[in-house]
Amino acid sequence: MTDYFSTLGLLVFMFGTCIGSFLNVCIYRVPENNSIVTPGSFCPNCNKSIPFYYNIPVLSYIFLMGRCKFCKCPISIRYPLIEALTGIFALLLFHKFGLTPVMVYWFVFISVLTTISFIDIDHQIIPDVISLPGILIFASSFYFLPEMTIKDTLLGIFTGGGSLYAVALFYYLLRRQEGMGGGDIKLLAMIGAATGIKGVVFTIFAGSLSGTIVGILIMVYTRIADTKLRIPFGPFLSLGAILYIFFGKQLIQWYLSTLGN
């Protein structure tokens, strides 16, 4: 049985890295409004098509020593890191939920969050072409997740989108400038569709805390004490949602138990 799970776990990880390779394509092409289907993979420096045997997730980067086979231009380390990260997420979900519809649902969800996060880091945008269909797709949470109902899904969407919209509106009325983009609002609505109100509250708290810590570290490192420093919030909301999937229930129970003492 152990050998079975070890073999299956390896296959799950490998499958995850392949999906990670596809996510790299989406991250690069979606903001440019280019097709994610055609053309096939190519070197952005010399535009040479990359054969499949030079496009094996993670391994090709190692074998090619991080350089294009044709023009020898350096390949960003981020490509194999995203592939490996997606594989790790697949493996962690497999060990937590087994090879079940729940695992598949959360893997698709995390893959979308990963794509959104890196696009937001690169361009400080969250494309509607991902977030709006995401709200509809992950509104199916009540079908895949035993703890979710249609009511939980709808409340999650309206609470997620509504809470950030209220914050953005208040900031605009106070400062007369945009403090939070509409992409973050739609992203949290999508997260609410998948996780419900509890997930929204946890995500906001975890995302705000991690974002504040990272923001302070950046200001200390760069020695720039700028209150207008623009840090994309999407990756931190995504991090909060992912933490909720793996540890949310345990952390919420722990927090409630501390209040009872």
Same domain, 8 and 88: yes
Select from 46, 65, 99 the last residue of a domain.
Answer: 99
Dist. CA 3–CA 27, nearest whole Å: 36
Q: Is pLDDT at 261 greater than 70 in this prediction?
A: no
Q: Is residue 222 part of a domain?
A: yes
Higher pLDDT, 104 or 254: 104
Q: Is residue 187 part of a domain?
A: yes
For 180-209, write each residue's pLDDT tens digit.
567 888 999 999 999 999 999 999 999 999
Q: Is residue 3 part of a domain?
A: yes
Same domain, 149 and 255: yes
Higher pLDDT, 36 or 163: 36
Q: Is residue 105 part of a domain?
A: no
Q: Is pLDDT at 259 greater than 90 in this prediction?
A: no
pTM, rounded to two decimals: 0.90
Q: Is residue 114 part of a domain?
A: no
Cβ neighbours around 76 below 10 Å, total: 12
Q: State mean pLDDT over 41-46.
A: 84
Q: State mean pLDDT over 128-154.
A: 94
Q: Is pLDDT at 228 greater than 80 in this prediction?
A: no
Q: What is the pLDDT of residue 45?
A: 85
Q: Is residue 19 part of a domain?
A: yes
Helix 182-222 with 249-260: angle, nearest 10 deg: 70
Q: What is the pLDDT of residue 171?
A: 62
Same domain, 65 and 141: no
Same domain, 144 and 249: yes
Same domain, 153 and 244: yes
Q: Is residue 116 part of a domain?
A: no
Same domain, 30 and 73: yes
With helix as H, strand as E and coil as C, how does the chain read?
Answer: CHHHHHHHHHHHHHHHHHHHHHHHHHHHHHHHCCCCCCCCCECCCCCCECCHHHCCCCHHHHHCCCECCCCCCECCCHHHHHHHHHHHHHHHHHHHHCCCHHHHHHHHHHHHHHHHHHHHHHHCCCCHHHHHHHHHHHCCHHHHCCCCCHHHHHHHHHHHHHHHHHHHHHHHHHHCCCCCCHHHHHHHHHHHHHHHHHHHHHHHHHHHHHHHHHHHHHHHHHCCCCCCCCCCCHHHHHHHHHHHHHHHHHHHHHHHHHHHC
Same domain, 136 and 82: no
Q: What is the pLDDT of residue 78?
A: 95
Q: What is the pLDDT of residue 177?
A: 57
For 73-104, write each residue's pLDDT tens digit.
999 999 999 999 999 999 999 999 999 999 99
- Count CA atoms within 13 Å of residue 95 on its CB side: 12
Same domain, 38 and 94: yes
Q: State mean pLDDT over 10-18.
A: 96
Q: What is the pLDDT of residue 1?
A: 53
Total domains in the chain come to: 2
Select from 99, 114, 136 the last residue of a domain.
Answer: 99
Q: Is residue 107 part of a domain?
A: no
Same domain, 81 and 129: no
Compute the Cα dihedral for 112, 114, 117, 118 and give only its sign.
Answer: negative
Dist. CA 206–CA 121, nearest whole Å: 18
Q: What is the pLDDT of residue 62?
A: 93
Higher pLDDT, 150 or 168: 150
Select from 99, 134, 161 the last residue of a domain.
Answer: 99
Same domain, 43 and 133: no
Higher pLDDT, 179 or 149: 149
- Contacts of residue 126, Cβ cutoff 8 Å, sequence gap at least 6: 116, 119, 120, 181, 183, 184, 186, 187, 234
Same domain, 261 and 164: yes
| Domain extent at residue 17 | 1-99
Mean pLDDT over the full length of the chain: 88
- Count CA atoms within 13 Å of residue 140 on its CB side: 13
For 44-59, write each residue's pLDDT tens digit.
888 888 888 889 999 9
Same domain, 151 and 95: no
Question: CA dihedral defined by 87, 191, 238, 213, rounded to 10 degrees?
Answer: -150
